[in-house]
Amino acid sequence: MRTCNLIRIMLLALLLAGGGCAHVPLMTMAKLVTFDMATADPAILRVAARTPAVLMPQPDGTLLTLALGPEAAADRRVDRFVLEQVNDSRELDAVARLRRSDDRVFVYQLSRADVLRVGQAQAQYRDLKQRGERGRLSIGVSSKACRLGPLPAGAILTSTYLKVSESDGYLPVLVDIDLRKELGDAAALVDQVPECAAR
């Protein structure tokens, strides 16, 4: 798998994975060249998002998709997992450096039960490879957000960070991507980021 494709499927859709490799720091690309989801520890995987304070993740709206098998195969296995928002103070301290004035930082992880399910898929993939069967294990992350009030005028800057190992910590993937510019027009922005429901 090319490095660009690997990076693209790892990003929060809200934060515009479609921005492509042009926005990805070279340091991150170099780190992810050796990343292999088939052998990675899913308990370590984290996705962090920095957004303006007016944006909030929708409840149960951040998903991880795990696909096993050839791209066009009818028997391709696709599993979806709702990522949990991390509220542990020790974990949040690890992303404190990412915070800026008037921004929020959210961190997501797999639940304990889903870590086991991902591990089962990884084992299945390794078994397929040992038997000489063709296939691929890939992941994608998507997120739905809402707004707490009117969106600010001007740029709406968002960033995503990825943690795939303890040693590397949080890698910057897309930094200061302007949602307003990427979505193209006000109607698309309002459609993609609706008002938050009252809780």
In a domain, 91, yes or no: yes
pTM exceeds 0.85: no
Virtual CA dihedral for 69, 45, 49, 161, nearest 10 degrees? -90
Q: How is the beta sheet containing 77-82 ordered, strand by strand?
A: 77-82, 55-68, 137-147
Domain count, the chain: 1
Whether residue 101 is contained in a domain is answered as yes
Q: Backbone phi, then psi, for 23, in 5-degree steps? A: -95, -10
Residue 53 in any domain: the answer is yes
Q: Is residue 157 part of a domain?
A: yes
Query: Residue 89: inside a domain, yes or no?
Result: yes
Q: Does residue 62 lie within any of the structural domains?
A: yes
pLDDT of 176 reads 86
199 domain residue, yes or no: no
Range of the structural domain that residue 31 is part of: 3-192
Burial class (CB in 10 A: 0-12, 13-18, 19+), 96: exposed
The answer to whether residue 198 is domain-embedded is: no
Note the pLDDT of residue 21: 54
Per-residue pLDDT of the chain (199 residues), as tens digits, is: 444 443 333 344 433 333 445 567 778 777 777 777 788 899 999 988 888 989 888 888 888 888 876 656 666 778 889 999 999 998 898 898 888 888 889 999 999 999 999 998 888 888 877 887 766 777 777 778 888 988 888 888 888 888 888 888 888 888 888 888 877 767 777 788 888 887 6
